[in-house]
Structure 1
Amino acid sequence: MAEHKIYKMSFSKVYPLYIKKVERKDRTKEEVDEIIRWLTGYSDEALQAQIEKEVNFEEFFDQAPELNPARREVKGVICGVRVEDIEEPLMQEIRYMDKMIDELAKGKKMEKILR
């Protein structure tokens, strides 16, 4: 697996950027958290603990309690690449989350985002 800089980037540094992105579009931190919990299986407390521990993206996904099997239904383009075509497993997990946060920021309903 090629080592991308994002793998070692602290999740806690990117998390507030997700929140800012959606709040500009009148969405909420709670909705971001709901997406992340749905995707990874983290509880509110466990998610907060990961943020406080400043784990990187690789650790964040490695330690995820249960990746939602329905995440494979996330389709579309993020950063110019089709999410479903990404071959590196960790990069695909990161892009699933990016795509879902993007959909939230674009005003999509939570029922549709959470497939």
Structure 2
Amino acid sequence: MDNSHKQDQRIAKMTFASVYPLYVEKVERKGRTKEELHEVITWLTGFNNKKLQELIKEKVTFEEFFRQASLNPNVHLITGVICGYRVEDIENPLTQQARYLDKLVDELAKGRKMEKILRGS
């Protein structure tokens, strides 16, 4: 089993609830809000706040989280490097989706304008 396959499996089994507080902490530490984070997650996944809270409470894995998501049609506009990988070149769809979310959270924390984070939507 190669390293990238192990990483793909690790991401698939990780719960969204375990990572969500880290996202909140990261954006708030940089002066952004939980509401802005939710706006970014909603743009990417189609989940409203109620559904997002349900998924957190149920401790769904990233695999289940993205299975239930309706990805934004402009997701292909998310490009760049996150965690040492160019997101547009990641071959495993689930890993790519998780990295899309990481990339958006990173852009929010870095102070990028919401219009640019949401790819002009």
CA distance in structure 1 between the partners assigned to 2:9 and 2:23 by the alignment: 20
Q: Counterpart in 2 of 1:105?
A: 109
- Give secondary structure in 1 for the equivalent of 2:37: helix
TM alignment of 1:36-115, pairs within 5 A: 36-64=41-69, 66-115=70-119
CA distance in structure 2 between the partners assigned to 1:60 and 1:78 by the alignment: 20
User: What is the percentage of aligned positions where both structures have the same residue?
Assistant: 61
Alpha-carbon RMSD across the aligned residues, in angstroms, is 1.2
**TM-score, normalised by the number of residues in structure 2:** 0.91
Number of residue pairs the alignment of both structures matches: 114
Q: Once the two structures are superposed, what CA deviation does each residue of 1:85-109 show, in whole Å capped at 9, x if it has no partner?
A: 0011000000000000000000001
The answer to whether residue 35 in structure 2 is matched with residue 9 in structure 1 is no
**TM-score, normalised by the number of residues in structure 1:** 0.95
Task: State the shift of 1:4 in Å.
Answer: 2.1
